[in-house]
């Protein structure tokens, strides 16, 4: 069953409020009335799907309130009610994004049709959004570090500030970005994902900024780029570390000015986009060695969310595995379960491919095991042998080493892991392993790790 739609009527004339209330309630809507901008503001914080707004609002100005509503909820439709002598205001209201107009004196048929059309558009839009949203699963987690991460994402969701998400491959960076989008006011706008690594340098600019007709030889018609497409929503920029330096400079300008210039255009276009930049590389270190622009880094780095590797949050493994198992069984129409030793075994594995690898492993185990209960053996049969064997795992790559080489390899692996855990910060890394910072620095230099 469709949920009841909520309409807010804002008019200073009580006769108009009352007649709209009567008409719209009869149509089955939930109607809220406000006689002033202040009263309307209070009601707008609750659930409202459509606003009918008087252009002349007694002491207040309907146009100002429209501007406010559009700034906060750009996708909430507003039907303006206009009276005599408000033609000039009408044009301004359209520019601000008013959905439609109804002229006083209001006629029953007009009101019904106008409201139905606007709400139909709202329903369509929310159906599209639900489909969009369903493309991403609800995140599953149990660990306190992930609880805190998603809590932070929720707090950041309604800000316009850019966010950087870091973390190893398959750890769930895109899922965190999606939460940032869907938990905030931008959820009604687009979530547009693009990948800097997959953009050839020559096309990256066109991809992001678009072009005007005739901008270059093949530009037969205008093209809108990713940034403009994400207007009103979020642009998810994956693998930002691979962005060409020239484009980095242009992106910085977008962040500073809130506008873009299409290739071949002379005028900038205002864009309202929240940038989420993603990387599995250490951007701060890239700034140090000059491969990433420091000014862009400083513009982006106010909020950095780090998604830890799955091996650093083993509490998440059992709930994730159970959730994947449930989904796969539902798809295959079977009912399998894990034996306790299977879960313990899953928790002991290293998961270099993180959550994605866990999902693939559970899928393979469900598909290939013949029993209803998936035990340790069924899982061992579908993971790489060196992952399943802790001795082989830690000893991988030592086969042809002499003692000196083996020691150097061990030291490299060890210090690399320590550095990664400390986010590249030498002071923190030294403190974590009880080593003097100067000794650690020397060691890293010796091993060629810095
Ligand atoms: N907490 C989670 N709950 C449920 N599914 C998850 C979770 N984290 C990750 N996944 C799933 O694991 C897969 C990888 O996640 P995602 O694409 O977000 O990772 P990523 O960090 O962006 O990876 P890459 O670096 O390869 O781009 C996806 O299928 C995603 O749905
Ligand atoms: Mg990703």
Atom 18, ligand 1: residue with shortest CA distance: 172
Residues 378 and 245 in one domain: no
pLDDT in the model for residue 33: 96
Cis ω on the peptide bond leading into residue 209 (within 30° of 0)?
A: no
Q: Which among 349, 367, 393 is the end of a domain? A: 393
Nearest atom in ligand 1 to 178's CA: 18
For the residues 113-126, what does the mean pLDDT come to? 88
> 138 lies in a domain?
no
Q: Do 402 and 389 sit in the same domain of this protein?
A: no
Which two structure tokens, joined as six digits, stand for 387? 């992952």
Residue nearest to atom 23 of ligand 1 (CA): 170
1 falls within a domain: no
- Quote the ligand 1 centre to 171 CA distance (angstroms): 5
Average pLDDT over residues 212-224: 83
- Number of the ligand closest to the Cα of 237: 2
**pLDDT value at 364 more than 80:** yes
Residue 139 lies in a domain: no
In this prediction, residue 394 carries a pLDDT of 63
Nearest atom of ligand 1 to the alpha carbon of 139? 3
**pLDDT number for residue 115:** 96
Lining residues, ligand 1, CB within 6 Å: 137, 139-141, 167, 169-175, 280, 320, 355-356, 359
**Cα→Cα distances 63→83, 106, 353, Å:** 13, 19, 53
| CATH number (domain holding residue 408) | 1.10.10
Pocket test for ligand 1, best of 179, 356, 362 (most atoms within 8 A of CB): 356
* One domain, residues 125 and 240: no
Question: Is the same domain home to 177 and 299?
Answer: yes
121 CA distance to ligand 2 middle (Å): 32
Best probe residue, ligand 1, of 135, 147, 163, 172 (max atoms within 8 Å of C-beta)? 172
Predicted local distance difference test score (pLDDT) of residue 389: 64
Ligand number with the minimum distance to the CA of 307: 1
Q: Is 338 helix (H, G, I), strand (E, B) or coil?
A: strand
pLDDT tops 70 at residue 395: no
Q: Which CATH number covers residue 86?
A: 3.40.50.2300
| 171: confidence class by pLDDT, cuts 50, 70, 90 | very high
Residue 281 falls inside a structural domain:
yes
Co-location of 105 and 164 in the same domain: no
Residue 265 has a CB neighbour count (10 Å cut-off) of 15
> Domain containing 28: what range?
6-133
In this predicted structure, what is the pLDDT of residue 153? 95
CATH number for position 354: 1.10.8.60
Q: What is the pLDDT of residues 22-69, one digit of tens each?
A: 999 999 999 999 999 999 999 998 889 999 999 988 888 899 999 999
Surface-to-core class of residue 445, CB atoms within 10 Å of its CB (0-12 exposed, 13-18 middle, 19+ buried): exposed
Do 297 and 315 fall within a single domain? Answer: no
Percent of the chain with pLDDT over 70: 96
Best residue among 141, 169, 175, 357 to mutate for probing ligand 1's pocket (most ligand atoms within 8 Å of CB) is 175
Tell me the residue ranges of DSSP E strands in 316-359.
337-338
Q: Please determine, for residue 314, whether its predicted confidence score (pLDDT) is greater than 80.
A: yes
Residue 253 lies in a domain: yes
pLDDT value of residue 417 = 80
Of 101, 133, 165, which closes a domain? 133
pLDDT band at residue 220 using 50, 70 and 90 as cut-offs: confident
Do both 35 and 56 map to the same domain? yes
Averaged over 311-320, what is the pLDDT? 95
Q: 181-215, pLDDT tens digit by residue?
A: 998 888 888 899 898 887 777 788 888 999 988 88
Q: Is 378 among the domain residues?
A: yes
User: How much is the pTM?
Assistant: 0.72
Same domain, 150 and 288: yes
Count how many domains the chain has. 4
Mean pLDDT on 363-386: 90
Q: What is the pLDDT of residues 400-413, one digit of tens each?
A: 778 888 888 888 88
For the record, the structure tokens of 170 come out as 């398959």
Q: What is the pLDDT of residue 346?
A: 94
Asked if residue 403 is part of any domain, the answer here is yes
Beta-strand runs (E) in 266-407: 269-270, 274-279, 304-306, 337-338, 373-374
- Of ligand 1's atoms, which has the minimum distance to the CA of residue 167? 21
User: Mutate which of 138, 311, 355 to test ligand 1's pocket (most atoms within 8 Å of Cβ)?
Assistant: 355
Please check whether residues 58 and 184 belong to one and the same domain: no
pLDDT band at 166 (very low <50, low <70, confident <90, very high): very high
Which residue's CA is minimally distant from atom 16 of ligand 1? 172
Same domain assignment for residues 326 and 183: no
For residue 85, pLDDT beyond 80 = no
> 182 and 83, same structural domain?
no
Domain final residue pick, 289, 306, 323 = 306
Percent of the chain's residues with pLDDT above 90: 56
Whether 232 shows a pLDDT value over 80: the answer reads yes
In this structure, the answer to whether residues 92 and 212 fall within a common structural domain is no
Which residue's C-alpha comes closest to atom 31 of ligand 1? 137
Report the separation in Å between the CA atom of 195 and the middle of ligand 2, taken as the mean of its atom positions. 9
- From atom 5 of ligand 1, which residue's Cα is the shortest distance away? 139
Residues 1, 245: Cα–Cα separation, whole Å: 52
Helix orientation angle between 245-257 and 201-209, rounded to the nearest 10 degrees: 20
Residue 329 placed within a domain: yes
Question: How far is the centre of ligand 2, averaged over its atoms, from the C-alpha of 369 (Å)?
Answer: 30
pLDDT band at 361 (very low <50, low <70, confident <90, very high): very high
Tell me the per-residue pLDDT of 333-359, one tens digit each, with 9 for 90 and over: 999 999 999 999 999 898 999 999 999
CA distance 341 to 376: 6
CATH number at residue 170: 3.40.50.300
> What is the band of 90 on the pLDDT scale with cuts at 50, 70, 90?
confident
Average pLDDT, integer, range 257-261: 93
């Amino acid at each position: 069953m469709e949920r009841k739609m909520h309409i807010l009527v804002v008019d200073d004339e009580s006769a108009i409020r009352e007649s709209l209330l009567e008409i719209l309630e009869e149509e089955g809507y939930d109607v809220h009335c406000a006689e002033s901008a202040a009263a309307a503001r209070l009601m707008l914080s609750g659930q409202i799907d459509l606003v009918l707004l008087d252009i002349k609002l007694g002491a207040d100005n309907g146009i100002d309130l429209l501007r406010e509503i559009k700034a906060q909820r750009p996708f909430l439709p507003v039907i303006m009610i206009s009276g005599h002598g408000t033609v000039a205001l009408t044009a301004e209201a359209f520019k601000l994004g008013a959905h439609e107009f109804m002229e006083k004196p209001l006629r029953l048929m007009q009101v019904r049709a106008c409201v139905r059309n606007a709400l139909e558009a709202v329903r369509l839009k929310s159906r599209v959004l639900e489909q969009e949203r369903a493309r991403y699963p609800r995140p599953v987690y149990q660990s306190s570090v992930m609880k805190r991460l998603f809590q932070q994402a929720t707090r950041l969701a309604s800000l316009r500030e850019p966010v950087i998400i870091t973390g190893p491959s398959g750890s769930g960076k895109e899922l965190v970005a999606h939460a940032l989008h869907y938990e905030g006011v931008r959820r009604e706008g687009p979530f547009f994902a693009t990948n800097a690594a997959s953009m050839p340098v020559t096309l990256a600019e066109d991809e992001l900024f678009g072009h005007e007709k005739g901008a270059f030889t093949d530009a037969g018609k205008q093209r809108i780029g990713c940034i403009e497409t994400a207007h009103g929503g979020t642009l998810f920029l994956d693998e930002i570390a691979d962005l060409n330096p020239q484009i980095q400079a242009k992106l910085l300008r977008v962040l500073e000015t809130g506008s873009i210039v299409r290739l071949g255009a002379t005028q900038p276009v205002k864009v309202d986009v929240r940038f989420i930049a993603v990387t599995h590389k250490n951007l701060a270190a890239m700034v140090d060695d000059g491969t990433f622009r420091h000014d862009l880094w400083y513009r982006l780095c106010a909020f950095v969310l780090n998604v830890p590797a799955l091996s650093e949050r083993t509490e998440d493994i059992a709930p994730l595995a159970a959730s994947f198992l449930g989904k796969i069984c539902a798809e295959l129409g079977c009912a399998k379960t894990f034996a306790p030793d299977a879960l313990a075994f899953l928790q002991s594995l290293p998961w270099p491919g993180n959550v994605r690898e866990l999902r693939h492993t559970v899928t393979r185990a469900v598909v290939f095991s013949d029993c209803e209960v998936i035990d340790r053996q069924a899982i061992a049969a579908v993971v790489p042998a060196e992952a399943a064997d802790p001795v082989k795992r830690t000893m991988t790559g030592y086969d042809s080493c002499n003692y000196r080489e083996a020691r150097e390899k061990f030291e490299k692996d060890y210090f690399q892991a320590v550095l990664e855990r400390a986010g590249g910060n030498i002071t923190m890394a030294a403190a974590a392993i009880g080593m003097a910072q100067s000794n650690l620095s020397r060691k890293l230099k010796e091993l060629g790790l810095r």
